[in-house]
Homo-oligomer: A and B are copies of this chain.
Amino acid sequence: MYDFSDRVKNLTGNAIREIFKYLADPEMISFAGGLPATNMLPKEEIGKFMAECLEENPTAFLQYGSTEGYLPLRNSYLDYVKRCGIENQSIDNTLIISGGQQGIDLMCKCFLNKGDAVLVQKPTYLAVLHILKTYEASVFGVEQGEDGLDLNDLEEQIKAHKPKFLYLVPNFLNPTGKTLTVETRKNALEICEKYGVLIVEDDPYRELRFEGTPLPSIKSFDKTGTVVYLSSMSKTIAPALRVGCAVGPEEVIRKMTIGKQAVDVHTNTLAQGVVDKFIRTGAIDRQIERAKPVYKEKKDLFIENLDRLMPSSFIHTNPEGGLFIWGEFTDGTSAKAKFREAIENKVAFVSGNDFFFDGSGDHTIRLNFSNATKEQIEVGLHRLAKIFKK
List the interface of chain A (C-beta within 8 A of B). Answer: 1-8, 11-14, 17, 20, 33-36, 38, 41, 43, 46-47, 50-51, 54-55, 58-67, 98-99, 101-102, 105, 109-114, 116, 127, 130-131, 134, 164, 198, 225, 234, 238-242, 249, 251-252, 255, 257-259, 261-271
Contacts and interface: CB of A to CB of B under 8 A. Distances in A.
Contact of A62 (B99, B130, B240, B251): B240
Most B CB contacts (10 A, CB to CB) among A17, A110, A240, A258 go to A240
B33 A58 contact: no
Given A46-B54, A58-B43, A63 B238 contact: yes
B109 A7 contact: yes
11 contacts: A2-B251, A12-B258, A13-B258, A13-B261, A14-B261, A14-B262, A64-B234, A101-B264, A102-B263, A240-B268, A263-B263
B66 A20 contact: yes
Contacts of A67: 13, 17
Contact of A101 (B2, B241, B263): B263
Contacts of A249: 2
Nearest to A21: B66
A130 B14 CA distance: 28
Assembly stoichiometry (copies):
2
A2 B252 contact: yes
Contacts of A255: 2, 4, 8, 11
A308 to B, nearest CB: 30
A233 B357 CA distance: 39
Given A50-B47, A261-B130, A262-B105, A111 B5 contact: yes
Contacts of A38: 59, 62-63
Contact of A242 (B11, B234, B265): B265
Contacts of A12: 258
A123 to B, nearest CB: 18
A258 B4 CA distance: 12
B261 A8 contact: no
A251 B1 CA distance: 9
B62 A41 contact: yes
Most B CB contacts (10 A, CB to CB) among A11, A63, A64, A258 go to A64
A62 B46 contact: yes
Contacts of A198: 2
A61 B43 CA distance: 9
Q: Which 3 A-B pairs have the closest CB atoms?
A: A240-B269, A62-B238, A41-B62
Contacts of A251: 1-2
Contacts of A102: 263-264
A54 B63 contact: no
Contacts of A98: 98, 264, 268
Contacts of A112: 5
A17 to B, nearest CB: 5
A67 B127 CA distance: 13
A238 to B, nearest CB: 4
B8 A109 contact: yes
A225 B3 CA distance: 13
A107 to B, nearest CB: 10
Given A3-B111, A240-B269, 6 more contacts: A2-B251, A38-B63, A41-B58, A47-B50, A50-B270, A131-B262
B271 A268 contact: yes
Contacts of A134: 109, 259, 262
A35 to B, nearest CB: 6
Contacts of A35: 63-64
